[in-house]
Amino acid sequence: MDVRHDRILILDFGSQYTQLIARRIREAQVFSQILPHSAPLEQILGDRPSGIILSGGPASVYDRNAPLMPKGLLEQRVPVLGICYGMQLVTHLLGGEVAKAARREYGRSNLIIDDGSDLLKGIGSAASSTVWMSHGDRIERMPKGFCSIAHTENSPVAAMKTVESGNRIYCLQFHPEVAHTIEGFRILQNFVYDICRCRPTWSMSSYVETAVRQIREQVGNGKAMCALSGGVDSSVAAVLAHRAIGKRLTCVFIDNGLLRTGEGVEVRNTFASHLKLNLRYLDRAPEFLRALKSVANPERKRKIIGRLFITHFEALSHRLGGVDYLVQGTLYPDVIESVRFKGPSATIKTHHNVGGLPTRMRFRLVEPLRELFKDEVRILGKELGLPDVIIWRQPFPGPGLAIRVLGPVTRERLTLLRAADAIVEQEVRNSGLYRELWQAFAVLLPIRTVGVMGDRRTYEHVVGIRAVTSVDGMTADWARLPPELLATISNRIINEVKGANRVVYDVSSKPPSTIEWE
């Protein structure tokens, strides 16, 4: 039997915590979805949300282009929870007054509860609780029909709610979603369970059922194709689609000659042998390498590779005939058009992945993961029986090693980089840090340096090591790898990789650098 899962809708005003709100709601086993603040009212109400959360955001309601919400949203009977900027916007739109706080409030604050009857039920055993603030504006005068339910030393109205029960709006000046707000999860649970009356029915296994059913409905008796990259997202999407439509799904893996050591063999073993998927393995390395000959410009490399992928997919779809659907492992952060994700990265580099395909290929898209985050996809992968090597594989860019061999890409330089990269991966795995790092890899620099080996002068290549921590790849910090690990990696590369005589470690964060070097 299929249960319709209750859902909470989150309107994003650009807060760095919006995704975290979504995660917390799902941790409460209620499905949550994020839409940009500019989404039309029909879309917001379309899936019949049980409650709406207005996120925080960096703007002030008095900014000229302050983000707004669709007219009429606050007049619905769906309960609303405004957080930080969300609270200020509610106040501003309903005729209250927001003003610059005399003192900006960032960090820990002590919340004194004045009404613990619903939203703040069970919070602050001694009538106060530690909360996390981050705001420059504060509520001077509440809109008509609201009453304060909590305050702090600097904010007379740190939480408020509507007095009438018909149109229930709750607001918090602090962030209940962050771990520093000690009882924040309880507050969100109160909102979701008691106020919105959501049932905790959502889990990854129910997600599998729903996704499989939806794919069946969408594809009907049609045929679909799925481009595998060997990474976790496309793999999970493929396995879900396989469950739904079996042999009518053809998976394609293109060996473009730019893969890491052993990658092609691993994908073939996992998908064709172990998971019994219908896999077309296309070895197109010679074509890719020929097209890249003497190309040093990073953007040109990306464009050439992207174009060739399209050519080969098109050719295969013609050979298969009647393929109308393309299964993609698009994740939530890839799709959201929120303020936050209009980041600069898309214009800095032409990010090629299969995302560029459909516009030219006229496929209908099947995107079963478009509402999930990476770590949720990993849980889903486990649920679906994917092996750990796939589930925990670090992200790898579509253009592969071509953008890690700086300068022209040749077979020799790829061989050198592959050997160095395999050492980085082995040693990072041995150290137990592999899962903690977003990525750890080697790059081959386009310069040579002088060294001395066994009393002989050498003049050889430099290998750069990049290791970063990150939540979503949008921002990243260089990983503080233990010096002993760096020493082992460096010794092994210089001793074992023919043609390398120097290793350097990249200590740049993103921004201002990027994760990949090209």
Q: Which residues bind ligand XMP (CB under 6 A)?
A: 302, 345, 349, 351-353, 395, 397-399, 439, 473, 510, 514-516
Question: Which residue of the set 84, 196, 226, 251 is catalytic?
Answer: 84
Minimum distance from residue 226 beta carbon to ligand XMP (Å)? 15
Number of Cβ atoms within 10 Å of the Cβ of 266: 17
Minimum distance from residue 353 beta carbon to ligand XMP (Å)? 3
Q: Residue 370 or residue 448: which is nearer to ligand XMP going by CB?
A: 370
Question: Which of the 8 DSSP states describes residue 369?
Answer: T
Number of Cβ atoms within 10 Å of the Cβ of 143: 19
Residue 479, helix vs strand vs coil = coil
Residue 74, helix vs strand vs coil = helix
Residue 382, helix vs strand vs coil = helix
Question: Which residue of the set 92, 135, 177, 427 is catalytic?
Answer: 177
* Active site (annotated) includes residue 177: yes
Minimum distance from residue 14 beta carbon to ligand XMP (Å)? 20
Minimum distance from residue 517 beta carbon to ligand XMP (Å)? 8
Gap between the Cα atoms of 427 and 452, Å rounded = 25
Q: Residue 199 or residue 349: which is nearer to ligand XMP going by CB?
A: 349
Q: Residue 56 or residue 397: which is nearer to ligand XMP going by CB?
A: 397
Contacts of 312 (CB under 8 A, 6+ apart): 254, 282, 284
Closest by CA to 274, choosing from 303, 249, 239, is: 239
Gap between the Cα atoms of 462 and 416, Å rounded = 10
Question: Which residue of the set 175, 242, 312, 352 is catalytic?
Answer: 175
Question: Which phi and psi angles does 15 have, rounded to 5°?
Answer: -70, 145
DSSP bridge partners of 97:
141
Cα 90 to the center of its chain, rounded Å: 29
Minimum distance from residue 467 beta carbon to ligand XMP (Å)? 12
Minimum distance from residue 373 beta carbon to ligand XMP (Å)? 15
Q: Residue 78 or residue 420: which is nearer to ligand XMP going by CB?
A: 420
| Cα torsion 375, 378, 380, 383: sign | negative
Maximum distance among all alpha carbons in the chain?
Answer: 86
DSSP bridge partners of 35:
11
Residue 290, helix vs strand vs coil = helix
Six-digit token string for 494: 């210089």
Q: Output the CA torsion 165→168→169→172 (10° steps).
A: 70
* Pair 238, 249: CB distance under 8 Å: yes
> For the residues of 296-336, what is the DSSP string, one character each?
--HHHHHHHHHHHHHHHHHHHHHHH--EEEEE----HHHH-
* Pair 97, 91: CB distance under 8 Å: yes
Q: Residue 264 or residue 399: which is nearer to ligand XMP going by CB?
A: 399
Minimum distance from residue 428 beta carbon to ligand XMP (Å)? 15
Q: Residue 183 or residue 255: which is nearer to ligand XMP going by CB?
A: 255
Q: Residue 56 or residue 399: which is nearer to ligand XMP going by CB?
A: 399
Minimum distance from residue 301 beta carbon to ligand XMP (Å)? 10
Q: Residue 130 or residue 345: which is nearer to ligand XMP going by CB?
A: 345
Minimum distance from residue 352 beta carbon to ligand XMP (Å)? 4
Helix ranges, 53-200 (H): 85-93, 184-189
Side by side, the strands of the sheet bearing 80-83 are: 31-36, 7-12, 51-54, 80-83, 169-172, 159-162, 146-151, 97-113, 128-141
* Pair 234, 226: CB distance under 8 Å: yes
Gap between the Cα atoms of 103 and 106, Å rounded = 9
Q: Residue 245 or residue 515: which is nearer to ligand XMP going by CB?
A: 515
Residue 155, helix vs strand vs coil = coil
Minimum distance from residue 476 beta carbon to ligand XMP (Å)? 7
Q: Residue 325 or residue 396: which is nearer to ligand XMP going by CB?
A: 396
Question: Which phi and psi angles does 142 have, rounded to 5°?
Answer: -75, 155
Which residues does the annotation mark as catalytic?
84, 175, 177
